[in-house]
Amino acid sequence: MADYSVAGGDAFAAFVKKSEEEEAKANAKASGKGSSFTYETQQWVGLVQGQAHILRLVGNPPESLTPGFKAGPYDAHEIFFETIKDDNGDRMQLRLPCHAEDINDEHIMWRIINKVKEVDWVEDPANPGKKKRIPKHEKTLVYDKITHGGFNPADPKEADSYKYSKGWSGQQVVIMNVIDREDNWCAEHKHTKLLSKKVTVKDGVAYPTVGVPSYGFLSTLKKLVKVYNSWENYDIQVVKTGQMNNPYEVKNATYYKEVGVPEIDQSKLECISLNKGLTDEEKAYERYDIAKFYSPTSYKNLKERLGKTIQEVDSTFGTHFYTELVGLAEKEEKERAEKAAEEEAAAANAAPTEGATITESVAQTTTAAVTETVKQAEPAATTQPAASTIPTRGTVNATSGLAPNKIAALKGWIKLTDAQKAQIKDVILDENGVVTNVIYTDDAATQCKCNDCGMPSPQDFASCPICGADFE
Model-wide pTM > 0.75: no
> Is residue 421 predicted with pLDDT exceeding 60?
yes
**What are residue 175's phi and psi, to 5 degrees?**
-115, 125
Cα 226 → chain centroid: 27
pLDDT > 90: what percent of the chain?
A: 54
Q: What is the mean pLDDT of residues 332-358?
A: 76
CB–CB of 328/336 below 8 Å?
no
> Is residue 124 predicted with pLDDT exceeding 50?
yes
Q: What is the mean pLDDT of residues 415-431?
A: 85
Q: What is the rounded distance in angstroms from the CA atom of residue 325 to the CA atom of residue 304?
A: 10
3-state secondary structure of 383: coil
The confidence score (pLDDT) of residue 101 equals 84
Write out the H or E segment, with its range, that includes residue 86: none
More confident residue, 156 or 415: 156
> Is residue 6 predicted with pLDDT exceeding 90?
no
> Is residue 28 predicted with pLDDT exceeding 70?
no
- Compute the C-alpha angle 460/463/465, nearest 5°: 100
Q: What is the rounded distance in angstroms from the CA atom of residue 439 to the CA atom of residue 457?
A: 9
The confidence score (pLDDT) of residue 261 equals 86
The confidence score (pLDDT) of residue 377 equals 37
Closest CA to 92 of 280, 374, 349, 307: 307
Q: What is the rounded distance in angstroms from the CA atom of residue 172 to the CA atom of residue 12?
A: 20
User: pLDDT tens-digit profile of 431-460?
Assistant: 777 888 888 887 777 777 777 777 888 877
3-state secondary structure of 140: coil
End-to-end CA distance of the chain: 48
Q: What is the mean pLDDT of residues 195-220?
A: 91
The confidence score (pLDDT) of residue 285 equals 96
User: pLDDT tens-digit profile of 184-197?
Assistant: 999 999 999 999 99
User: pLDDT tens-digit profile of 140-189?
Assistant: 999 999 999 999 999 999 999 999 999 999 999 999 999 999 999 999 99
Q: What is the rounded distance in angstroms from the CA atom of residue 436 to the CA atom of residue 424?
A: 14
Mean pLDDT rounded to a whole number for the chain: 83
Q: What is the mean pLDDT of residues 116-121?
A: 94
More confident residue, 469 or 422: 422
3-state secondary structure of 49: strand
Please, what's the b/e burial string for 293-321 (b: 16 or more CB within 10 A of its CB; e: otherwise)? bbbbbbbbbbbbbbbebbebbbeebebeb
More confident residue, 68 or 196: 196
User: pLDDT tens-digit profile of 237-288?
Assistant: 999 999 988 999 999 999 999 999 888 999 999 999 999 999 999 999 999 9
Q: What is the mean pLDDT of residues 406-425?
A: 84
3-state secondary structure of 87: coil
> Is residue 317 predicted with pLDDT exceeding 80?
yes
> Is residue 112 predicted with pLDDT exceeding 90?
yes
